[in-house]
Amino acid sequence: MNLESLLHDRLAPALDAVAGHPVDPAVRSSPHADFQSGAPLALARELGRPPREIAAEVAGKAGLDGLATIEVSGPGFLNLTVSDSLLAEALRATAADPRLGVPAVAAPERIVVDYSGPNVAKEMHVGHLRSTIIGDALARTLDWLGHDVIRVNHLGDWGTPFGMLVEHLVDRGGAADHSIRDLTAFYQDARATFDADEDFRTRARLRVVALQSGDPLSRELWRKLVAQSEVYFLDVYDRLGVTLGPDDFAGESRYQDDLPVLVAELQARGLLAESDGALCAFPAGFTGRDGEPLPLIVRKADGGFGYAATDLAALRHRVATLAADRLLYVVGAPQRTHFAMVFAVAREAGWLPDGVVAEHIGFGSILGPDGKMLKTRAGDTVKLAAVLDEAVSRASAPAVGIGAIKYADLSGDRRGDYVFDWDRMLAMTGNTGPYLQMMHARARSILRKAATAPGEIVPAEPAERDLALTLLGFEAAVTAAARFAEPHRLAGYLHELAAVFSGFYEKCPVLRSADAVLASRLGLTELTARTLHTGMFLLGIEGPEQI
């Protein structure tokens, strides 16, 4: 049961009556009372009346029916204290519910979550890590809330580099699989040959044309490269505990046949103009530093299609064929303008109707200890596989190492950068993954040692009441994380829950109590363990029984 929204609903009519229009009661949990509303303060400014007077009037009108007591505090806040019977009832309902009081959404949406999106024949680097981790947490959370989630892995599997790669594979004897087992080395070799050899460059260019016009041998070799990469990516997802599977790959190449149609449609709507031989859209409201309209290149001067064209085609497909209601693109902050322009052109073209929401879920960079983009000591980009190896070797168990990386990524506002610091993220104390896992394991250990079953929760001590109210905040945290696509809201909640639980068992011995008190404390412990476990699951973090 979401007490916050229950009190919100009780307070709203009183505020509306005083204001003469709808007012958001802004009920929040607070250190000064169970909940607090600051709405009278804003209303007082609007009405030009003393805030405490407004607060008193609202308190007098609020129909709380004994669910809570209300009192004016400070400059004009309303403090709400939930009645013992409401608290007990809310806890009973939550504990009895396998979904911990979080109902499935009444109107499920079809939500496409575009995440990970690594590039074929290139090793995944830490930059792809954030997209993969954040995207997976969002997909899991939306899924669990009852939405119809379609995971899409928009693989970079097309474009000019493949001319070079396929040609290199031909030179290497083509079919020999061992030559592409180490794809990164293969890519680097191809690149070096391309840079050094004029004849190879010419052949690579012809190969792109052959590949794009469907030449069977070129296609077969390209397929091999893609397949080899997919095996590698799936292995990374598996190690990371990420829910992307083989059926979720929908790379750029999928949209090749749509591209000429797309150009024709844009042309028919008068949305394309030629600029230096390229066909560009100039969506309204986008200008460069010089004040000139900013182009989105749809077809390049050489006739090829690039990243923007593929994204337009993918969006059109997601709305028209997949019937999506909401599109999330979990991609780094540098692509902000790219997506804003793609969405704008899609709206102008009629591919993105008003009812469909498209959002770029941007995120900041991972920084090294020097505060600059994370690099190896030699100055290279850090390979994801190496990071995972190190996490597992530094931690007591793979679940702890991987959980630490994920939690470090998810616990801050995604828009910010963060410093990659092994010691900090693996610490057993503080706002870390291992701390959550340890608190969960501690709760499970108490439950294993107990001779009796958890019973009805009847909070008496302040620390019990504190834990009870925190447990009831789960729904608000999950819902907010989903609505704003901000996993840190859930992470922050789980950290708070773990910390409040730790305060609880220090002040209120569980196993050394007896009878109804024991049963109630075991009930709190059990509900804490389940809430932590479910919350970590939604973030993609394992909660082992013991760590």
Nearer to ligand ARG, 136 or 311 (CB): 311
State the alpha helices, DSSP H only, in 126-254. 126-144, 161-171, 183-196, 198-212, 216-240
Binding mask 28-47 for ligand ARG (x = CB under 6 A): --------------------
Residue 235's contacts (CB-CB under 8 Å, 6 or more residues apart) are none
Report how far residue 12's alpha carbon sits from residue 16's, in angstroms, rounded to the nearest whole number: 6
| 232 touching ligand ARG, by CB under 6 A | no
Closest approach, Cβ 75 to ligand ARG, in A, equals 48
CA quadruple 459, 464, 469, 470: dihedral sign: negative
| 354: helix, strand or coil | coil
Among 135, 156, 163, 473, binds ligand ARG (CB under 6 A): 156
- Contacting range for ligand ARG; rule: CB under 6 A; set: 27-35, 114-122, 407-415, 488-496: 114-122
CB of 446 to ligand ARG, least distance (A): 44
For residues 112 and 318, the answer to whether their CB atoms sit within 8 Å is yes
- From residue 125 to residue 154, what is the string marking binding to ligand ARG with x (rule CB under 6 A)? -----------------------------x
* Residue 251 CB, nearest approach to ligand ARG (Å): 9
In this chain, which of 114, 230, 258, 409 binds ligand ARG, going by CB under 6 A?
114
Judged by CB, which is closer to ligand ARG: 64, or 331? 331
Q: Residue 495 CB, nearest distance to ligand ARG (Å)?
A: 30
At 151, phi and psi to the nearest 5?
-85, 130
Q: In sequence order, what are the residues at sequence separation of 6 or more whose Cβ sits closer than 8 angstroms to the Cβ of residue 20?
A: none
Nearer to ligand ARG, 13 or 306 (CB): 306
Residue 403's alpha-carbon distances to 4, 116, 430, in angstroms, are 30, 18, 14
Q: Which residue is nearest to ligand ARG (CB)?
A: 117
How many residues line the site for ligand ARG (CB under 6 A)? Answer: 9
Show contacts with ligand ARG in window 322-351 (CB under 6 A): 329, 331
Q: Does 365 help bind ligand ARG (rule: CB under 6 A)?
A: no
Q: Distance between terminal CA atoms of the chain?
A: 31
Give 307 or 537: the residue with its C-beta nearer to ligand ARG.
307
Q: Please say which residue, 127 or 459, places its beta carbon nearer to ligand ARG.
A: 127
Q: Is 117 in the site for ligand ARG (CB under 6 A)?
A: yes
Q: CB of 309: closest distance to ligand ARG in angstroms? A: 11
Q: Can you tell me whether residue 461 is helix, strand or coil?
A: coil
Residue with tokens 């834990």, as numbered in its chain: 467
Long-range contact pairs involving 517-521 (C-beta distance under 8 Å, separation at least 24): 517/460, 518/450, 518/452, 518/455, 519/452, 519/453, 519/454, 519/455, 519/456, 520/455, 520/456, 520/457, 520/458, 520/459, 520/460, 520/464, 521/464
* Whole-number Å distance between alpha carbons of 374 and 382: 7
- The amino acid present at 76, given as its one-letter code, is G
Binding-site member from 157, 230, 258, 311 for ligand ARG (CB under 6 A): 311
Judged by beta carbon, residue 49 or residue 122, the one nearer ligand ARG is: 122
Which residue, 311 or 542, is less far from ligand ARG as judged by CB? 311
- Residue 353 CB, shortest distance to ligand ARG, in Å, is 19
The residue among 57 and 114 lying less far from ligand ARG, judged by its C-beta, is: 114
Instruction: Decide whether 154 or 440 has the Cβ nearer to ligand ARG.
Output: 154
DSSP-derived letter for residue 36 is E
Tell me which residues touch ligand ARG (CB under 6 A): 114, 117, 119, 154, 156, 311, 314, 329, 331
